[in-house]
């Protein structure tokens, strides 16, 4: 049984991004879900599943139930999932499975948080005993991954900079992006170190905001507001917990989750017209491109040089500005951007007639990964 082309995203929405004081994680989540349902032209009584990624700023048990109550929905399935930055694609996958099994017809997958204006929460907490040695949060973990990539393959800081610069060039075309000022390689190189070899401009933003998508069967999708965006392929892979014990730091869950998604979709990297790849740090989409097969392992640095992924490049990537420039929130906005590109709603940043979009999510310090392939 394949899930290919049986389900569609029929609603997609984002809230304001950036520093938005006075709006709670709950309010961002509700606003995003409401906008996504309106985008689809569905009333809330059409929703029979509410699937949520937990907000890291302040984890609360039964979060999806709180969201459901705030939305005035009593769904057949309400679930809060924790796969960190891979969760949002995971939510879509679980929605597809539940629809395919006949348990539900329509799911809203939603996420919102206020880590910039609200409490920093888990971002500053150590993940294990390494806190005693001064390792907190994600930058030092991804710095050690970047260090290995540089050692094993000769990747340079300037090559990482090309990811940041290309992404900012896209963000400058997005009126809702958190950061839109032009950026050069020199700006990237001059920005201070957070955790060497990662400069400040290698690190994603911390942003308030929310995003949501509505998933339903292709049958239900036929007579709604917008043309359906079909889900061709989807997969996950989880590298598990302890960072120091990983056999390698330079291959991520993108390899196996990508194979699953491409195999299901029956397409390959050469068929992809636009990529929205999780970019919590510049090294992440570089490794993801390698593991998905856009280039050989270790050649990601050379691949992203000279604007390959920027506006006008051969592989448009993170067309709304990604986590690096549009919003630091954990990935739902990347799904929304892929949907917008496939609908032709990209405005100034619209890619020419894309037919296939690739989206990734990655969580923790390469702990989790998810891949989704969409078409119009």
Partner 1 sequence: MTTEYNKPLPRLVNEAVSRPFWDAAKRHELVMPRCLNCSNMFFYPREQCPNCYSDNTEWVPVSGKGRVYSYTVVYQPANRAFQEETPYIFAIVQLNEGPRIPTNLLECEIDGVELEMPVEVVFDDVTDDVTLVKFKPA
- Nearer to partner 1 among residue 194 and residue 351 (C-beta): 194
Does residue number 151 form part of the binding site for partner 1 (CB under 8 A)? yes
Does residue number 126 form part of the binding site for partner 1 (CB under 8 A)? yes
- Nearer to partner 1 among residue 123 and residue 259 (C-beta): 123
- Nearer to partner 1 among residue 117 and residue 176 (C-beta): 117
For residues 223 and 376, give the distance between their C-alpha atoms in angstroms, rounded to a whole number. 15
For residues 35 and 13, give the distance between their C-alpha atoms in angstroms, rounded to a whole number. 6
Does residue number 154 form part of the binding site for partner 1 (CB under 8 A)? no
- Find the largest Cα–Cα distance for the chain: 57
Which of 196, 219, 353, 355 is close enough to bind partner 1 by CB under 8 A? 196
CA of residue 59 relative to chain centroid, distance: 20
Which residue stretch of 99-107, 110-118, 174-182, 191-199 sits at the interface with partner 1 (rule: CB under 8 A)? 191-199
Strands 106-113 and 198-199: unpaired
Does residue number 228 form part of the binding site for partner 1 (CB under 8 A)? no
For residues 33 and 67, give the distance between their C-alpha atoms in angstroms, rounded to a whole number. 9
Q: Are 264 and 2 a contacting pair, CB within 8 Å?
A: yes
Q: Are 330 and 53 a contacting pair, CB within 8 Å?
A: yes
- Nearer to partner 1 among residue 242 and residue 353 (C-beta): 242
Smallest gap from Cβ 195 to partner 1, in A, equals 4
CA atoms within 13 A on the CB side of 117: 15
For residues 4 and 374, give the distance between their C-alpha atoms in angstroms, rounded to a whole number. 10
Q: Are 77 and 107 a contacting pair, CB within 8 Å?
A: yes
- Nearer to partner 1 among residue 221 and residue 249 (C-beta): 249
Which of 128, 182, 266, 347 is close enough to bind partner 1 by CB under 8 A? 128
What the block records as the tokens of 202 is 């290698």
Smallest gap from Cβ 305 to partner 1, in A, equals 23
Contact string 238-257 vs partner 1 (x = CB under 8 A): ----xxxx---x--------
Smallest gap from Cβ 127 to partner 1, in A, equals 10
Residues that bind partner 1 (CB under 8 A): 120, 123-124, 126, 128-137, 139-140, 143-145, 147-148, 151, 192-198, 242-245, 249
């Amino acid at each position: 049984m394949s899930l290919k082309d049986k389900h569609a995203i029929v609603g997609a929405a984002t809230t304001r991004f950036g520093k938005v004081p006075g709006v709670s994680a709950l309010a961002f989540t509700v606003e995003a879900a409401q906008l996504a349902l309106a985008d689809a032209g569905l009333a809330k009584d059409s929703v029979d599943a509410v699937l949520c990624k937990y907000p890291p700023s302040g984890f609360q048990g039964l979060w999806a139930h709180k969201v459901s109550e705030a939305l005035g929905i009593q769904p057949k399935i309400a679930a809060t999932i924790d796969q960190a930055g891979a969760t949002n694609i995971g939510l879509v996958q679980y929605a597809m499975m539940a629809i395919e099994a006949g348990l539900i017809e329509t799911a809203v997958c939603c996420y919102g948080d206020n880590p910039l204006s609200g409490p920093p929460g888990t971002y500053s907490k150590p993940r294990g005993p390494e806190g005693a040695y001064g390792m907190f949060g994600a930058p030092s973990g991804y710095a050690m991954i970047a260090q290995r990539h540089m050692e094993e393959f000769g990747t340079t800081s300037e090559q990482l900079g090309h990811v940041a610069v290309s992404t900012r060039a896209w963000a400058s075309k997005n009126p809702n992006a958190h950061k839109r000022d032009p950026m050069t390689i020199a700006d990237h190189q001059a920005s201070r170190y957070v955790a060497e070899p990662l400069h400040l401009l290698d690190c994603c933003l911390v942003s308030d905001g929310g995003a949501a998508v509505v998933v339903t069967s292709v049958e239900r999708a036929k007579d709604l507001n917008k043309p359906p965006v079909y889900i061709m392929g989807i997969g996950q892979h989880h590298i598990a917990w302890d960072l120091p014990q990983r056999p390698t730091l330079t291959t991520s869950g993108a390899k196996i989750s990508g194979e699953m998604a491409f195999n299901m979709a029956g397409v390959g990297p050469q068929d992809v017209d636009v990529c929205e790849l999780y970019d919590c740090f510049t090294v992440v989409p570089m490794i993801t491109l390698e593991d998905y097969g856009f280039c050989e392992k270790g050649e990601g640095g050379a691949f992203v040089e000279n604007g390959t992924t920027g506006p006008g490049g051969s592989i448009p990537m993170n067309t709304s500005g990604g986590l690096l420039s549009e919003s630091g929130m954990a990935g739902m906005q990347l799904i929304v951007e892929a949907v917008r590109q496939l609908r032709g709603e990209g405005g100034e940043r619209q890619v020419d007639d894309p037919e296939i979009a690739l989206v990734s999510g990655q969580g923790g310090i390469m702990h989790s990964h998810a891949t989704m392939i969409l078409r119009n």
